[in-house]
Structure 1
Amino acid sequence: MRNHPRVADGAVAGAVFLYSLPIQVAYAPEHPPFVGVVLIAGLCAPYVFRRDRPLATFAVMALTAFAQWLLGVMLLPATFMLFFGLYNAAARCGRWVSAAVAAIVEIGVVLAVLEWGADPIMELFTGTALVVSVWIWGYTIGTRRAYLASLEERAVRLERERDNQAQIAAAAERARIARDIHDVVSHSLSVMVVQADGAAYSLRGQPDRAERALATISDTGRTALTEMRRMLGVLRDGEPEHDSYAPQPGIAQLDQLVAGVRRSGLPVHLTVEGVPRDLPAGMELAVYRIVQEALTNTRKHAGPNVSRVRVRLRYGQDVLEIRIRDDGRGAAVVHSGSGAEGGHGLVGMRERAAAYGGSIRTGPRAGGGFEIAASLPLEAE
């Protein structure tokens, strides 16, 4: 019956209708039978629609009961369907609407007592108590039902918000991985292009040097492929992500990064000042990628006459400073599109720094060359 509420309501209305018919014939013979049938039907039939239209249901019942009073037809069991209508209105309508319904039922009680009551005071008290009790019962049930519905709605809303947050987090993760892919591909291809050019130049005259360049190309390509597979594995939905748990590069791998760049022909020197501190893995990755992208930009744009590139990390009391300087054609870098407002690399560096509350300054140096300076705040120890 819970799955078919209208069938249940129809069964209740039908039972009251069938129970009232013989009583009307036996105790109200002075009225034509069809009058009782119409009155009983008018009191019972609307109950079937009580869930969809509670006020209309009660209105039909109340008008039928008023017609019963006007015709002088004695009280029938079906007349008490008014209390079912009152309960239904109290449970499904607002406080003041249901209170008005209760007042109408109370007026009906008064009229019935005045018309047919043997002990008016006692019957009026009993009828009023019944009206108040039914109204309170229905209003309480309606309030509880509304409270449970609000809880369900809140749960659905929270679940929807949680799904939205998960989608936002997934989009952010994909954007982060896209930046990593850009950094890896840009850095690795730059090294490979430089080494390939060097190998082609020295292939005949200096075969040993060409062989070393080709070995560097091979190592760089393998490293790039490994990192690409790891990052692309995270992007595959529904597949195992075992490779994504591989250690991320950090500050400890900067020596290896600088050595690889130095082998490609760029004179890079790394210095670390201050007392190194343990940093979150994400911040260490950001530092690594900032240095990697800065060296990639230097290789691309500084020109062939670079004599020195300096990477300096300085641990301050509450800030980690990262500076990458070169003595190449710094002014041309800004106009090439990789300066403060151009290039995906510098944008990615700014995003990485901003993710940890830091900032990045880029621009040509006064004495020539180009400088990238990043500052990342550190938690006080």
Structure 2
Amino acid sequence: MGGRLRARWRGVRPLVDALRVRPLVDALRSRPLVDAFLAAPLAFYSLSGLVFDTTAMPKPEYVVWCAGLLAPLVLRRTYPRAAFAFICLVSFAQVVVKVIPMTPNLALLMGLYTIAAGPSFRWGVAAALVTELGVFVAVFRYVGGWGDQRYGLALMSVIVAGVWLLGLHMRTRRAYLRSVELRAARLERERDAEVQVAKADERARIARELHDVVAHNVSVIVVQADGASYAIDTDTARARQALETISATGRTALAEMRRMLGVLREGDDAGSYAPQPGVAQLAELVEQIRGSGLPLEFEVEGVPLEMTEGRQLTVFRIAQEALTNTLKHAGPRATARVLLHYGDEAIEIRVTDDGRGAAARGDGRGHGLVGMRERAAVYGGEVTAGPRPGGGFEVVARIPVREEVRR
């Protein structure tokens, strides 16, 4: 269920981003029109005194005081400190000219809430102290009797503290939501980065697989084609055998390439693919190389161990790449030997030949040795390769297996 919802969201999200719904909502919330709409109920209630004639002062003077106290609310989120300061000045003027408190004075609490819910905690504390000072002055200015003054001061102080705490709670809530959004954006970026890294790793793996398949089989085809061209006039049977080997090798290469490229098709679950080659297929590889005209010995030492498919594939590919290099660079009269040794802690594959060795020249564009070392490094192994002292070339790969094997 969750996967389907995420898939639907991925499909709808580009449309949402294109419409830019969130920036539009943020812009709408910050406009004075919305603040005026929120202040409208207090304005209507304050001006209702003009309709029912409940004001204790002339109507024009009442309208002026209402406008002075309520007008700053239109800009209370655009310019919160300026709006709050203006409301405080108007309220202080009321005290100076002895105008009794009225309903529009509640605008002071709305301004306090806006400051407390803002990004600055210090300004919120300052606004609360200023409001509390105004409450103290108003109580001792307009309330007579110490008992009533104490009651009025306590009641108004509780209201001021409640409004300040409400604004502080909203400030904390908004900060938490911003942190969640930032964390979600960061996780999304990290997920995208991990996907890119995974794609790069997969491309490198497929490139190595294609290199192993194409380089090996094309090398066999080239060697067989050269042999067939030399023998076509003198030994027709041998030339026919070489052509049959070329045909079989080409079909094998095409089958492996189809298998590897087929897994990249999206949404194609039909069909099954052949398993990856392993240690059991080394004998077939040796026979294929022998059929290419390279004299080759194959020996196995030790007790065979059960290994994971990944380790078996690594051993097979290393042997395949080493024999491919022998075919390409060892020379026409070279012989080779493959030794597979099972140890208690590691399996060792050793491929040697008596060909050109250090005298062989490469084209400088191969990735065979690099691929072998990378494959071995995945399982904590190592590969050494180089010319032999007595002539020829040697490749030795050692793959640890103790952590996963059983006899």
Aligned residues: 372
Deviates further, 288-297 or 81-90: 81-90
Deviates further, 276-285 or 50-59: 50-59
Report the TM-score when normalising by structure 2: 0.83
- Give the deviation of 1:28 after TM superposition: 4.0
- Give the deviation of 1:346 after TM superposition: 1.0
Match of 1:69 in 2: 95
**Alignment gaps of 5+ in structure 2:** 1-21
Is this contact kept in 1: 2:326–2:353, CA < 8 A? yes
% same residue: 51
Is structure 2 residue 320 aligned with structure 1 residue 289? no
Distance in 2, Cα, partners of 1:66 & 1:244: 85
- Give the deviation of 1:9 after TM superposition: 3.6
Is this contact kept in 1: 2:55–2:62, CA < 8 A? no
Q: In the TM superposition, what are the counterparts of 1:148-163 in structure 2 within 5 Å?
A: 148-163=177-192
Distance in 1, Cα, partners of 2:343 & 2:273: 31
Is structure 2 residue 376 aligned with structure 1 residue 353? yes
Is structure 2 residue 396 aligned with structure 1 residue 373? yes
Distance in 1, Cα, partners of 2:107 & 2:341: 86
Match of 1:86 among 104, 109, 112: 112
Q: In the TM superposition, what are the counterparts of 1:106-255 in structure 2 within 5 Å?
A: 106-118=132-144, 119-236=148-265, 238-240=266-268, 245-255=273-283
Report the TM-score when normalising by structure 1: 0.89
Is this contact kept in 2: 1:271–1:313, CA < 8 A? yes
- Give the deviation of 1:245 after TM superposition: 4.8
The 3-state SS of whatever aligns with 1:324 is: strand
The 3-state SS of whatever aligns with 1:306 is: coil
Distance in 2, Cα, partners of 1:177 & 1:226: 15
Amino acid at match of 2:374: E
Distance in 1, Cα, partners of 2:380 & 2:276: 21
Match of 1:273 in 2: 301
Structure 1 residues 246 and 167, CA gap change in structure 2 (3 angstroms)? farther
Amino acid at match of 1:27: T
Amino acid at match of 1:296: T
Structure 1 residues 227 and 126, CA gap change in structure 2 (3 angstroms)? same
Match of 2:7 in 1: none
- Give the deviation of 1:259 after TM superposition: 1.1
Is this contact kept in 2: 1:46–1:61, CA < 8 A? yes
Deviates further, 52-61 or 92-101: 52-61
Match of 2:86 in 1: 60
Is this contact kept in 1: 2:113–2:163, CA < 8 A? yes
Amino acid at match of 2:303: V
Amino acid at match of 1:150: S
Match of 2:44 in 1: 18
The 3-state SS of whatever aligns with 1:323 is: strand
Is this contact kept in 1: 2:302–2:342, CA < 8 A? yes
Structure 1 residues 70 and 247, CA gap change in structure 2 (3 angstroms)? farther
Is this contact kept in 1: 2:35–2:77, CA < 8 A? no
Is this contact kept in 2: 1:233–1:244, CA < 8 A? no
Is this contact kept in 2: 1:174–1:235, CA < 8 A? no
| C-alpha distance after superposition, 1:13-40 (max 9, x if no partner) | 122112213437743425x72x543442
The 3-state SS of whatever aligns with 1:283 is: helix
**Alignment gaps of 5+ in structure 1:** none
Amino acid at match of 1:312: L
Is this contact kept in 2: 1:14–1:44, CA < 8 A? no
